[in-house]
Structure 1
Amino acid sequence: MKDINWDALSLDELKDIQKKATKAIESFEARKRKEALAAVEAKAAEMGFSLSELTGGTKTKSTKSAPKYCHPENPAKTWTGKGRQPNWVKEALANGKTLEDLLIVK
């Protein structure tokens, strides 16, 4: 970097340099942050994980839904009716049962 005679610069020139320097610093930090994140994600993937698995991700607290269906022979196996159907539900439906047959009676 060339030597600058700071005393010879006007206030506007100094403020312009300050503004450009601040922008350059922020850009540098953003690049370094991206590089660090990419390196950490690559290392986690190399070890068979995603970064969110290791850091807890951005999970939000959710309330558990009450089970709505249960396995006809094993009441410990339940399903809320949300998300993918468990294999036991798929099997029961394939064997002619309906979801109403699997409802938990209260």
Structure 2
Amino acid sequence: MAIDLKSMNHSQLSDLIARAQARQRELVREKAARLRDKIHALVEAEGLGIDDVLGSRAKRSAVVRKVKPKYRNPATGETWTGRGKRPRWFSAALSAGKKEKDLLIG
């Protein structure tokens, strides 16, 4: 199936790209489902369960650990863990002459 890209306008190309990306995601999901089914069949054929093969790692990877806040905005009480992009209030406080240690929690 040949598609004449030169005859398409911007809107048509955008639509084509969106549909192609959606199809690509669909194919990945289908492939993953087939692979998952194969893995389950292999594990069951051996008389084991998924937990027996993967152990507790499979369970641990799904757990999201909450990180305690490290910094607090004295004006508003907002907090930041120190991970990821700095919040605006933190950058503004540093620009105003505060030090990181001034914003530390306890």
TM-score, scaled relative to structure 1: 0.52
* Aligned AA (2:22): K
**Residues 10-25 of structure 1 correspond to what in structure 2 (within 5 A)?**
10-25=9-24
User: What is the alpha-carbon distance in structure 1 between the residues aligned to residue 28 and residue 35 of structure 2?
Assistant: 10
Where 2:59 maps in the other structure, the secondary structure is coil
Deviations 1:54-96 (A, max 9, x none): 01131589xxxxxxxxxxxxxxxxxxxxxxxxxxxxxxxxxxx
User: What is the alpha-carbon distance in structure 1 between the residues aligned to residue 27 and residue 49 of structure 2?
Assistant: 26
**Residues 1-106 of structure 1 correspond to what in structure 2 (within 5 A)?**
1=1, 3-56=2-55, 57-59=58-60
Query: Sequence identity, in percent?
Result: 15
Structure having the higher helix fraction is 2
User: What is the alpha-carbon distance in structure 2 between the residues aligned to residue 17 and residue 53 of structure 1?
Assistant: 45
Where 1:15 maps in the other structure, the secondary structure is helix
Where 1:34 maps in the other structure, the secondary structure is helix
Where 1:4 maps in the other structure, the secondary structure is coil
* Aligned AA (2:21): T
Where 1:33 maps in the other structure, the secondary structure is helix
* Aligned AA (2:20): A
* Aligned AA (1:44): V
User: What is the alpha-carbon distance in structure 1 between the residues aligned to residue 10 and residue 60 of structure 2?
Assistant: 49
User: How far 1:52 sits from its partner (Å)?
Assistant: 2.2
* Aligned AA (2:59): T
TM-score, scaled relative to structure 2: 0.52
User: What is the alpha-carbon distance in structure 1 between the residues aligned to residue 52 and residue 26 of structure 2?
Assistant: 29
Q: Which residue number in structure 2 is paired with residue 87 of structure 1?
A: none
What is the Cα-based RMSD across aligned positions, in Å? 1.9
